[in-house]
Structure 1
Amino acid sequence: MSSATGQVEVRRHKGLVPWQGQTILAAFDPRRNSLNLVRLVLALMVLLAHSYTLSGNGFGPLFNGDHLGTWAVYGFFCLSGYLITGSRLRSRFVDYLSHRIARIFPGFLVSLVVVVAGFAPIAYVRQHGSIDGYLTTPATPLHHVVANMGLSMHEWSVAGTLTANPYPHMWNGSLWSLYYEFLCYLAVGALLSFAVMRRRPWLLVPTFLLTVLAAANADTVVNGYFGGNRDVALLVDVLPFFMGGAAVHALRGVIPLTRWSALASAVGLVLLVSADGTWGPALAAPFITVLLMWLGKVLPCPELVRRHDVSYGCYIYAFPSQQLVAALGGAAWGTYVHAALALPITVALATASWLLVERRAMRVVRRGEPVPVATVSPVAAPIAVSE
């Protein structure tokens, strides 16, 4: 969307609220913001949270029974809901879908290959003293890639490795969320294909409330209507956060983005989560979104981070890096040393993923498309990253 179009949107909302100049639409600079930094911090929160478990030291700090990593994932879904909704409203469905596929799949598929070709052989040699039998030991490396290449994870282990780890067998436990993120992309893409939804995007607000209602009655919905299907159960859990972000985007012309709205959002988040552990976090999704958008507005961001979004790579490479460190004995040194040892491996692979895979894939899918004068937002990709 061009800057001129953005000005039209601001004028369209003019006079609706007394704080018009301070709304998300007016106050958030889509080209100069710190959302890459916010997403990177969320990805590193996941790394730290997993280091407790992967080093054999429990779950770490809990809030409403969930560790830091779970809350970080909720934050990713909220930001994605906001940004992806904007992407869909500006795009034809075919273009929207091609961008989403190009953004999520190449990095994901390469990460599977990196695990079976790089990480798992090291662990196998550590475990057996040689590489003999690696390619034929169940679950074979080829099976790991083929079984998971559709994004839905069906095989977590590779060649019987990681058996001695504090958290055994599983090479990349973070990848589970990508499938449900993609289902959220499809849901919003389909909803905004209806003319009535595109003309009245505020209808995303009652849609969000319906997802909260489903989450609050998850047992009835999942067991009563879907036979206890695990995929439905996990989707019901995360969909309200994505739709909460979408609802905020629909109301971005009236929701203020100030320190006071951020403070109110933080208070609302704590109150809702404290009021009810089941529906409270889901209903608080818009508050999480506003809080993260405010941080994206006010935090100083190094230019390198602003230009290069390695948060998705950090998310998909942290877990296997941590498991390799644990397999090589790093778990014995405690949670924080374990995390510190895994961090440089993660960042190096994330940087390579961004420069060699993710960015190139997006450039390919953009070829032949008209170049916009200015984009409204750095459209989020799976869990962590910008378009």
Structure 2
Amino acid sequence: MNRPVNGPASASGAGTPMMLSTAFGNPDNSYNALRLIAALSVVLSHSLLLGLNSPSYDPLSWAAYDLGATAVNVFFVISGAMLTHSVLQRGLGQFVRNRFLRIYPALIVSAALIALIIGPFGTGARLWEYYSSPQTWLYPLNVAWNFEGAVLPSMFEQGRYPGDVNVPLWTIKYEILSYIVFGIAAALGLLRHPSIAFAAWAAFGFALLADVGVDPTGETPVESLFRFGFAFLTGAVARRFGEVIPLRFGWAMAALALAVAGTGTRFGEVTWIIGIGYAALYVGAKNWGRIAEFARRHDLSYGIYLMAWPIQQVLTREPIWFGPQVAVLFLLSSTISGSLAYLSWKFVEKPALRRKAPASEKEP
């Protein structure tokens, strides 16, 4: 029997909006489904980039962050909110162990799969040279600490981005850093003081406004630190004040308007993260029915994020994608990476998550 589809406005009584704190305690929320949509948005953004060889085709190329970057920001907002909710409800518990089990088993297994199965389709080396190279066999270990910097022999030499085995992994080190800082703050009891969380959020927002670490030639590590830190803290602070933050359709529309209005101004990055972040928290609080139920049972977002780029690099080795054909590239990339993500979830991620401490079994 399917559960009724409830929106935030109806979850706590007719005409009474759901509060953000309640949304994360609601088993019918769709935050896993929203993360799946975000992962597929990254795949779409990269399909346009790799297939058409130009970032100008991105549907959000006019905004402070393009589609892929916006989706990653949403990941950080949701992560900040979910972890804050978990710690507030269940305490710190086995935080470090649980974060390790969420990140590393799938990361290392996906790296082995990329090196041993996908790699031969993307390398310019002979097969015996490829499989006899130490780089091939050490790649999963290198990924564990070097992330996007880990290399494979003669990989994608003829591709759009020569040598870039798995570029999206660059964001994972910022996710891990967010977990470390968050865990330390929680252990010190700082989450009990909302003013401290708000001050940290404001400081990171000011750093974005002040263009700290900005380089016109590309996003620097310092700029990324403030960007992802601000997105994570946006979710964390929103949940910390969740008892007084309602989830209303009108507020979500106003948040989107704020995001658009700030575009092209010095406030663009900040307003985009806040506006899209609130809208994402609102939409994720809804029950999306069967889609949400599927995403709750099969959390494929992480696996898709880990697998999609090298698959897309293989598919775009030859410049055969023009105009509407990029839709085929997106569908192929999503289907292949989604299938591998399902296997990762079933045989790697889900078994690893079961090893969490009982009190934190449902921790995101």
CA 1:237–1:26 in 2, change beyond 3 Å: closer, same or farther?
Answer: closer
* Number of positions where the alignment pairs a residue of Structure 1 with one of Structure 2: 342
Contact conserved, 1:115 with 1:320, CA < 8 A, in 2?
A: yes
Provide the C-alpha distance between the structure 2 equivalents of 1:305 and 1:113, rounded to a whole number of angstroms.
Answer: 25
| 1:254-269 mapped onto 2 (5 Å cutoff) | 254-269=244-259
Residue 184 of structure 1 aligns with which residue? 178
Q: Is the 8 A contact 1:136 1:159 kept in 2?
A: no
Q: Which runs of 5 or more structure 1 residues have no equivalent in the other structure? A: 1-18, 224-228, 380-386
**Pair 1:208-2:201 in alignment:** yes
Q: Name the amino acid aligned to 2:313.
A: Q
Structure 1 residues 170 and 75 mapped into 2: Cα distance closer, same or farther (>3 Å)?
Answer: same
Separation in structure 2 between the aligned mates of residue 32 and residue 151 of structure 1, nearest angstrom = 37
Question: Is the 8 Å Cα contact of residues 202 and 250 (structure 1) preserved in structure 2?
Answer: no
Residue 337 of structure 1 corresponds to: 328
Counterpart residue type for residue 135 of structure 1: Y
Counterpart residue number, 2:299: 309
Q: Does 1:132 align with 2:120?
A: no
Q: Tell me the residue number matched to 2:166.
A: 172
What's the counterpart of residue 291 of structure 1? Answer: 279
1:89-238 matched pairs, under 5 angstroms: 89-93=88-92, 95-124=94-123, 127=124, 130-137=126-133, 140-150=135-145, 152-155=147-150, 157-195=151-189, 197-219=190-212, 230-238=220-228
Q: CA deviation at 1:267?
A: 1.5
Equivalent residue, structure 2, for 1:280: 268
TM-score by length of 1: 0.80
Amino acid at match of 2:97: S
Tell me whether 1:347 sits opposite 2:346 in the alignment. no
Quickly say closer, same or farther: Cα 1:165–1:181, change in 2 above 3 A.
Answer: same
- Give the conservation status (yes or no) of the 8 Å contact 1:208–1:247: yes
Q: Give the C-alpha shift of residue 143 in structure 1.
A: 4.0
Tell me: CA distance 1:198–1:234, structure 2 relative to 1, closer, same or farther (3 Å): closer
By how many angstroms is 1:287 displaced? 3.0
Classify the secondary structure of the residue corresponding to 1:164.
coil
- How far apart are the structure 2 equivalents of 1:253 and 1:65? 30
The CA deviation string for residues 233-282 of structure 1, in whole angstroms up to 9 with x for no partner, is 42122211111111101111111101112112111222233432xx4323
Q: Which amino acid aligns with 1:249?
A: R
SS in 1 for 2:94: helix
Q: Once the 2 structures are TM-superposed, how far is the Cα of residue 84 of structure 1 from its aligned partner?
A: 1.4
Would you say the 8 A contact 2:109–2:140 is kept in 1? no
Percent identity of equivalent pairs: 26
Deviations 1:294-346 (A, max 9, x none): 11123523122232111111111111111121237764684222212212111
- The one-letter code matched in structure 2 to 1:352 is L
Give the root-mean-square deviation of aligned CA atoms. Answer: 2.7
TM-score with structure 2 setting the length: 0.85
Q: CA deviation at 1:93?
A: 4.2
Cα distance change of structure 1 residues 230 and 147 upon mapping to structure 2, 3 Å threshold = farther
Offset, 1:52: 1.7
Residue 252 in 1 paired to residue 242 in 2? Answer: yes
Residue by residue over 1:116-156, the C-alpha shift from the partner in whole angstroms, topping out at 9 and shown as x without a partner, is: 011011223xx45x51211345x82134333221264322x
Retained in 1: the 8 A contact 2:65–2:269? Answer: no
Give how far 1:114 is off.
0.8
Give the residue type in structure 1 aligned to 2:98. Answer: H
Q: Cα deviations across residues 42-87 of structure 1 (Å, max 9, x unaligned)?
A: 1111001001222243112203353210111111111111111222
Q: Would the aligned equivalents of 1:56 and 1:166 in 2 still touch at CA under 8 Å?
A: no
Query: 1:151 and 1:89 mapped to 2: Cα distance?
Result: 33
1:23, distance to aligned residue in structure 2 (A)? 2.0
Q: Which moved more, 1:331-340 or 1:299-308?
A: 331-340
Query: Higher mean Cα deviation, 339-348 or 265-274?
Result: 265-274
- Cα distance change, pair 237–29 in 1 and its aligned pair in 2 (3 A): closer
Contact conserved, 1:265 with 1:291, CA < 8 A, in 2?
yes
Residue 316 of structure 1 aligns to a residue whose secondary structure is helix
CA contact (8 A) 1:42 1:75 kept: yes
User: Aligned partners of 1:99 and 1:162: how far apart in 2?
Assistant: 35
SS of the residue corresponding to residue 358 of structure 1 reads helix
Q: Is the 8 A contact 2:160 2:313 kept in 1?
A: no
Are 2:81 and 2:237, in contact at CA under 8 Å, matched by a contact in 1? yes
Partner residue, 2:12: none
